[in-house]
Amino acid sequence: MLEESAALARLLALVPPATAEVLPLEECLGRFALADYFATLPLPSFANSAMDGYALHAADCGPPGLPLIVSGAQPAGPDLGLAVRPGHCVRLFTGAPLPRDAAAVVMQEDTLMSPDGTSISLTEAVAPGEFIRHRGADLSVGQRLLATGQAITPARLGLLASQGLAALTCGVRPRAAVLTTGDELCPPGPAPLAPGQIYDSNGPMLRALLQEVGCRASAHHAPDELTHITETAQRLLAENDILVFVGGVSVGDHDLVKPALAALGIPLEFWRVRLKPGKPFLFTTHQGKLIFGLPGNPVSAFVTALLFLLPACRKLAGAAAAAALPRRTPATLCSPISNNGDRPHYLRGLYQSEDATFTPLGLQQSHALTALAQGNALLRLDPYAAAPAGSFHPVILL
């Protein structure tokens, strides 16, 4: 049985490099960059006003003095080439290019306009440099905007667009198929359940998880029949980059995933991880394709997908090592917990961002979906460990 860290390292080492494609900027959200991008323009690219107000000469900065003649106006837009002289000012609007020789901008609210509209008087002292956005203050030419392997977020798209970039080199979205197995499963819908049947919750849940990390995902089902599972797996492997079996990965008479892989001539890379929930986890590869076998209990399937499947999907899509892993944040435990078993236990619970606390929720058994659905975080507790209320632990945010 592999330790969790060893299983993850072994798995990620076998993920092939991402395939690159060039996409229009507006189609890159959620992808991972496969090139480094650097600034070619400073931000701001020219000195401009941070406020609606008036540009002043250095000679007129300081405490309020004589009225200043309004000798022009510069809106945001093309630079009109204005200059400001001592005893004069230029009307400005937010984002407007700064007139030549301007030393400060006084806010409109700190001035009084003369009745004829030709001059202003200051009502507050003005310091040199006030309310000026200097060229290059935010970004200098040559600064890195985005590194290979970083996720392309809305804010990063905005930064890249500010440089005039219209297309980016990104990782291709992996194609993934979920194959649930079991005679007991019935697709959600109006059809009544026969005695002993349950609705398939794993297929929709895992397909959604895969879609959430950017995969093009589909869900399929096969009954407990070896030929059917084998033929379906063969077809899905031909059509996808990732195949995810759900259920049938243990050692019972009806656990047919390993026999199906054997029938296809695909040896296992590893099977079973020291983990609760999720011990009967399977992983292998075939002709560059990734194959996962997740336990059939829903929480076990979710936890193993979060810890192993999704990092592999992100890496296959181009994510750097750190970006591929689940997000963790420190939290204070609200109630005592303990783990009497010999495997690390991932507890489901609620993380409150307001005070960074974690509260375990409901049943913590591998079949119990309610706590997982109501929670938003997982806390890992070591084997034979006890943690008192008030102790600090990293939690994985869902």
For 3-40, the pLDDT digits (tens) are: 999 999 999 999 999 999 999 999 999 999 999 999 99
CA distance 186 to 198: 6
Reading the block at residue 130, the tokens are 């006030």
Supply the pLDDT for residue 393: 96
Question: Per-residue confidence at 224, pLDDT binned at 50, 70, 90?
Answer: very high
Cβ neighbors of 187 (< 8 A, separation 6 or more) are 199, 200, 203, 221
How confident is the model over 96-120, as a mean pLDDT?
A: 97
| Model pLDDT for residues 37-84, shown as the tens digit of each residue | 999 999 999 999 999 999 999 999 999 999 999 999 999 999 999 999
Helix, strand and coil percent figures for the chain, each rounded to 5: 20, 35, 45
CA distance 360 to 379: 9
Task: Please write down the long-range contacts of 71-80, taking CB distance under 8 Å and 24 or more positions apart.
Answer: 72/99, 74/99, 76/48, 79/46
- Answer CATH for 328-397 from 2.30.110.10, 2.60.40.3620, 2.40.340.10, 3.40.50.1000: 2.40.340.10
Q: Closest by alpha carbon to 88, among 47, 112, 117, 54?
A: 54
Q: Closest by alpha carbon to 272, among 282, 264, 262?
A: 282
Q: Judging by DSSP bridges, how do beta strands 392-397 and 377-381 pair with one another? A: antiparallel
| Model pLDDT for residues 139-197, shown as the tens digit of each residue | 999 999 999 999 999 999 999 999 999 999 999 999 999 999 999 999 998 888 999 99
Looking at every residue in the chain, the average pLDDT score rounds to 96
SS3 381: strand
**pTM of the model as a whole:** 0.89
Is pLDDT of 367 > 90? no
Chain position carrying tokens 């990104």: 170
Question: Per-residue confidence at 255, pLDDT binned at 50, 70, 90?
Answer: confident
Residue 331, H or E segment: strand 328-333
Write the DSSP assignment of 213-244 as a string of letters.
Answer: TT-EEEEEEE-S-HHHHHHHHHHHHHH-SEEE
Q: What are phi and psi of 204, to 5 degrees?
A: -60, -40
SS3 140: coil
Q: Judging by DSSP bridges, how do beta strands 242-246 and 289-294 pair with one another? A: parallel
Q: Closest by alpha carbon to 301, among 368, 218, 212, 216?
A: 368
* DSSP type of residue 71: E
Q: Which CATH superfamily is domain 2-18+172-324 in?
A: MoaB/Mog-like domain (3.40.980.10)
Q: Mean pLDDT check: name the lowest of 38-47, 167-176, 224-233, 243-252.
A: 243-252
Architecture of domain 48-133: Beta Complex (2.170)
Supply the pLDDT for residue 359: 96
Percentage with pLDDT > 70 across the chain: 100
Same topology, domains 2-18+172-324 and 328-397? Answer is: no
Percentage with pLDDT > 90 across the chain: 93
Using alpha carbons, list the distances in angstroms from residue 39 to 66, 133, 163: 44, 18, 7
CA distance 46 to 98: 8
Task: Domain 20-43+137-171: give its CATH code.
Answer: 3.90.105.10
SS3 17: coil
Q: How far is CA 15 from the centre of its chain?
A: 20
CA distance 385 to 296: 27
Domains of the chain, by residue range, sit at 2-18+172-324, 20-43+137-171, 48-133, 328-397
